[in-house]
Amino acid sequence: EAGVAQSPRYKIIEKRQSVAFWCNPISGHATLYWYQQILGQGPKLLIQFQNNGVVDDSQLPKDRFSAERLKGVDSTLKIQPAKLEDSAVYLCASSLVQEGGYTFGSGTRLTVV
Amino acid sequence: GNSVTQMEGPVTLSEEAFLTINCTYTATGYPSLFWYVQYPGEGLQLLLKATKADDKGSNKGFEATYRKETTSFHLEKGSVQVSDSAVYFCALSHNAGNMLTFGGGTRLMVKP
């Protein structure tokens, strides 16, 4: 079974620029999550999708972050404009149903300079 | 709200030593508890889980017991190997939405 694919692996941008991350979940997994992992901390949920609908985006900074999951498969997470404090690893995960176990991707490491 | 507290690292051990990484949680109701492991350059992998009080999760020689009376889920291994060097995260989730709340992580370094 193929895992959760994320791209790019690394991204360096200047503050106030925009950036987008892409995630392809495991085939058939209905639930998709984006987590932010700041260096030295545990991951924090940004947004959760069930198929193409948002289940929880209460911790997503909506003034600069946006996410979509078109057709209930792939997802993109965008930051515009980026701030220095957005430097982190952005993890995507998927699960078969809402109560299922997670599979995480390898993440995208973002550095904002 | 929900929270998870882990012992701070790094934890440095010699090969074949006994490992304990403490984890305590604060949550309403009866959450499920997890340990995830993150090897260098890789994503998070589920190591073990327990879904109700007194359950013991185990995998690859690691084990942890869900203790509701002490709100703890300590990770243990009898004899660590160099290949166990990684960052370990304790986490909890409730049934509603299955969102995971993570602790800060504990880095384990095992020396030969």
Q: What is the DSSP string of B75-91?
A: EEESS--GGG-EEEEEE
B29 lies within 8 A of chain A by CB: no
Question: What distance in Å separates residue B15's CA from the closest CA in chain A?
Answer: 25
**3-class DSSP state for residue A32?**
strand
Contact between chains at A55 and B97 (C-beta distance less than 8 A): yes
Q: Residue B39: CB partners within 8 Å, gap ≥ 6? A: B45, B86
Which residue of A lies nearest to B32 if distances are taken between CA atoms? A99
Tell me: pLDDT of B95 over 70: no
Token pair 């002490």: residue: B70
b/e sequence A42-76, b meaning 16+ C-beta within 10 Å: bbebbbbbbeeeebbbeebeeeebbbebeeebebe
B57 lies within 8 A of chain A by CB: no
pLDDT for A89: 96
How far does chain A reach from its first CA to its final CA, in angstroms?
Answer: 37
pLDDT for B94: 77
Nearest-by-Cβ selection for A42 from B49, B98, B103: B103
Which residue of B lies nearest to A59 if distances are taken between CA atoms? B99
Tell me: pLDDT of A98 over 60: no
Nearest-by-Cβ selection for A91 from B44, B91, B101: B44
**The two structure tokens encoding residue B79:** 């004899």
Q: Residue B21: CB partners within 8 Å, gap ≥ 6? A: B6, B7, B11, B74, B75, B76, B88, B90, B106, B108
Which residue of B lies nearest to A101 if distances are taken between CA atoms? B46
B42 lies within 8 A of chain A by CB: yes
pLDDT for B30: 86
A58 contacts on B by Cβ (under 8 Å): none
Q: Hey, what amino acid is at B32? A: S
Question: CA neighbours within 13 Å on the CB side: how many for B49?
Answer: 16
Task: Tell which of A41, A50, A102, A106 to mutate to test the B interface (max B CBs under 10 Å).
Answer: A102
A75 lies within 8 A of chain B by CB: no
Give mean pLDDT, residues A10-20.
98
| Interface size between A and B, measured as CB pairs under 8 A | 53
Range with the lowest mean pLDDT among A10-14, A29-33, A76-80, B102-106? A29-33
Which residue of A lies nearest to B50 if distances are taken between CA atoms? A101
> β-pairing, A88-95 with A31-37?
antiparallel
Tell me: pLDDT of A10 over 90: yes
Tell me: pLDDT of B85 over 90: yes
